[in-house]
Structure 1
Amino acid sequence: MNGETTRPQEVDESRFVDLLRAQGPQLLRYILTRVGDTHAAQVIRQVVLGELLVYWRRRHGMPDEDAVRLLYGFARRKIGNWRREQINAPVATDDEVLHRWLDAHATATCALIDTRVDVVRALAQLDELQRQALMYVYVDQLSYDAAAALLRVGRDGLNNVLRAAKKAARKCPELTGYGTQKEASA
């Protein structure tokens, strides 16, 4: 403190914007697959991006890999908060539930829900690492490198986890009626 003033470091906001452009759609898809409500997913995404921006400015930037890990960490925390809020939300009346289901696409919606329930039950039989690997690569459509970084495994490790997850999923009784691409082409 000898009379010198320190100037705050410049924040590289263009790098932050580039990161958001690259990760934004994948982040929204990641949140949407876990929340199921488009509006709630968009709200959560905005809160997560706001938190990352505050952290980014305080840290004067950070490596992109760390920022992506933080981004999904913030998202997981916000999704957990949202789920806890939903548990305490008022229960819909029978009329409200009936009106939600009486739309023109009720049959297709029921078929999709049945399929989703079967897939969720099958995924529940996998271990956490296998489940996360499948979600990151096939649902969130992250690159293998990004998924491997989030899971803190190498690319070969991710391939091994995915191979084991697919093998275990094929053995799940919930998925026996769906067949595979190999069976369809035979």
Structure 2
Amino acid sequence: MPTDDEGGHVLPRIESPDGENGLADDLDAPEGDAAAPEVRPMAGEGPPHDADWFTALVHEHERALYRYLVRRTGQEAADLTADVLTVAWRRRDDVPDGAELPWLYRTAGFVVANHRRKGRPIPVEHLPDEVEDDDPALHAVRDEQVREALAALSPRDRQIVLLNAWEGLTGQALAEVLGVSRGGADAALSRARARLAAAWVASD
């Protein structure tokens, strides 16, 4: 069933493969483990990134990370979750305090892209700068009309729409995954929603 966003756009309801559906309606960070705090500790003020830190990271975010991956890769999600967590451990000094889950999502996007392109695990020291265009998430969308509307978007717009629809990311959390400012993320989400609405109308 279509939904309306704040801009008055008629948007398709994008069903997640795991049954959690819908677009987030507001531009504030959502509650729950998908949200990154607006104010994060300054460098050096967070806990040491040691084995205890990593154990806590896995305990808090492994389930959300697995959901992200299973929506996009299906049966390969468990192995890829382990790959992403391996990257997190080996690059633990790069993981920002207070924005761990968005960092994991961003890294997962690169890992998925490389896994599909190369058919083998990604060397953790050499993550690419951009995710490749072929988005495996399209194959998980069951509704043909919704899939057509998403396929009409650019890879970047599609990534933004699905991060919002499936992971519930908005605001600062979305900005962390995209590697842009909060204002840039808000604007990008608004544009992506408008383009999705246009593609949805065109496919009707």
Structure 1 residues 157 and 11, CA gap change in structure 2 (3 angstroms): closer
Confirm or deny: 8 A CA contact 1:129 1:161 kept in the other structure: no
CA distance in 2 between counterparts of 1:172 and 1:46 reads 36
Match of 1:107 in 2: none
Confirm or deny: 8 A CA contact 1:26 1:142 kept in the other structure: no
Give the ranges of 4+ consecutive aligned residues of structure 1 lying more than 4 Å apart after TM superposition: 65-70, 173-177
Decide which structure has greater helix share: 1
Report percent identity of matched pairs: 25
Confirm or deny: 8 A CA contact 2:106 2:177 kept in the other structure: no
Higher Cα Rg: structure 1 or 2?
1
Question: Out of 125, 135, 139, which is 2:162 matched to?
Answer: 135
Where structure 2 has 5 or more consecutive residues not aligned to the other structure, the ranges are 1-47, 120-140
Confirm or deny: 8 A CA contact 2:164 2:170 kept in the other structure: yes
Alignment of 1:78 onto 2:111: yes
2:91 counterpart SS class: helix
Larger RCO (CA within 8 A; separation ≥ 6): 2
Match of 1:43 in 2: 79
Shift of 1:50: 2.1
Alignment of 1:148 onto 2:175: yes
Match of 2:129 in 1: none
Structure 1 residues 175 and 53, CA gap change in structure 2 (3 angstroms): farther
CA distance in 2 between counterparts of 1:175 and 1:30 reads 29
Alignment of 1:30 onto 2:63: no
Deviations 1:45-96 (A, max 9, x none): 012212321332xx4x75336855653454234323443477xxxxxxxxxx
One-letter identity of the residue aligned with 1:42 = A
CA distance in 2 between counterparts of 1:155 and 1:11 reads 26
Shift of 1:41: 0.5
Shift of 1:11: 5.0
CA distance in 2 between counterparts of 1:24 and 1:129 reads 25
1:64 counterpart SS class: coil
Counterparts in 2 of 1:1-186, with a 5 A limit? 11-35=49-73, 37=74, 39-56=75-92, 59=93, 62-64=95-97, 68=101, 71-84=104-117, 113=142, 115=143, 117-173=144-200, 177=204
CA distance in 2 between counterparts of 1:152 and 1:84 reads 22
| TM-score, reference length from structure 2 | 0.53
Q: State the number of aligned residues.
A: 136
Structure 1 residues 118 and 174, CA gap change in structure 2 (3 angstroms): farther
Shift of 1:34: 1.6
Shift of 1:23: 2.8
| TM-score, reference length from structure 1 | 0.57
Shift of 1:24: 2.0
